[in-house]
């Protein structure tokens, strides 16, 4: 299986045998796992900064798997979830999927089905983490821009040429070109199109 390095699969299931069996299965494909009997135990655990996913039983004492999913979403904890249950039904599946679940497996399921779902979840997590790293990097670059450079960036992204930017700002074309060059250098891009994609990712307000 082509999985991210140091990935961790978290398991929340009140069935001791199910937790142990799942951990044994994951060990056979070289995956590290950590298991919890209750959602409360899992919530008390500090998630490490590595790619991870959660194999979660739906019906648990005290707090259901769907309630745990809701709490994680409310807290902004982004972790792909694979639900498992003996009592799956269509409304429950729809609720779980709408809230971001990767898969919903009804017991009994094949070991390979679970492994495939875990691979999909970890690959999704790997992509999300990469995107978040890029956004943080771009945000750091953006914060190095002066107020005027940010203004110029907004005008560049809106499609303005250097001459138009100079007219809009009431400066010379040479000054506008200097600001443009500084923006491109600090943001580490080669074209306004690249700059536009970054502005979109950073959700920067459009400039008229």
- Tell me the C-alpha to C-alpha distance, in Å, between residue 175 and each of 149, 150, 203: 11, 14, 27
Q: Which whole number is the average pLDDT over 27-32? A: 94
> Is the domain of 85 the same as that of 161?
no
CATH of the domain at 116: 3.40.50.2300
Q: What is the pLDDT of residue 88?
A: 60
pLDDT (tens digit, 9 = 90+) per residue, 102-152?
Answer: 888 888 889 999 999 999 999 989 888 888 899 999 999 999 999 999 999
The count of domains in the chain is 2
Upstream peptide bond of 108 is cis (omega within 30 degrees of 0)? yes
Name the pLDDT band for 5 (thresholds 50, 70, 90): low
Same domain membership, residue 149 and residue 120? no
150 and 119 co-located in one domain? no
Closest CA to 179 of 139, 146, 144, 205: 146
Is the per-residue pLDDT at 59 higher than 90?
A: no
**Counting every residue, how long is the chain?**
208
Residue 191, in any domain of the structure: yes
Task: Please tell me whether the overall predicted TM-score, pTM, comes out greater than 0.85 for this model.
Answer: no
- Shared domain check, 105 and 39: yes
Residue 89 in this model has a pLDDT that exceeds 50: yes
Tell me which residue range forms the domain holding 176: 144-201
46 versus 94: the higher-pLDDT residue is: 46
Same domain, 43 and 70: yes
């Amino acid at each position: 299986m082509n999985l991210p390095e140091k990935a961790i699969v978290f398991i929340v299931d009140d069935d001791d045998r199910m937790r142990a069996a799942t951990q044994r299965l994951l060990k056979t494909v070289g995956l590290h796992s950590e298991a919890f009997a209750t959602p409360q135990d899992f919530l008390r655990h500090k998630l490490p900064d590595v790619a991870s996913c959660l194999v979660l039983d739906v019906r648990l004492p005290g707090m259901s798997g769907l309630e745990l999913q809701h709490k994680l979403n409310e807290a902004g904890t982004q972790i792909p979830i694979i639900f498992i249950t003996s009592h799956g039904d269509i409304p429950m599946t729809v609720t779980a999927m709408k809230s971001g679940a990767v898969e919903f497996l009804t017991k009994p399921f094949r070991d390979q089905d679970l492994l495939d779902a875990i691979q999909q979840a970890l690959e999704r997590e790997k992509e999300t983490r990469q995107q978040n790293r890029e956004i943080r990097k771009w945000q750091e670059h953006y914060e190095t821009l002066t107020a005027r450079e940010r203004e110029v960036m907004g005008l560049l992204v809106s499609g303005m040429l250097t001459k138009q930017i100079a007219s809009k700002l009431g400066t010379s074309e040479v000054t506008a070109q200097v600001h443009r060059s500084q923006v491109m250098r600090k943001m580490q891009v080669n074209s306004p199109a690249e700059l536009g994609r970054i502005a979109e990712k950073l959700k920067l307000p459009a400039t008229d």
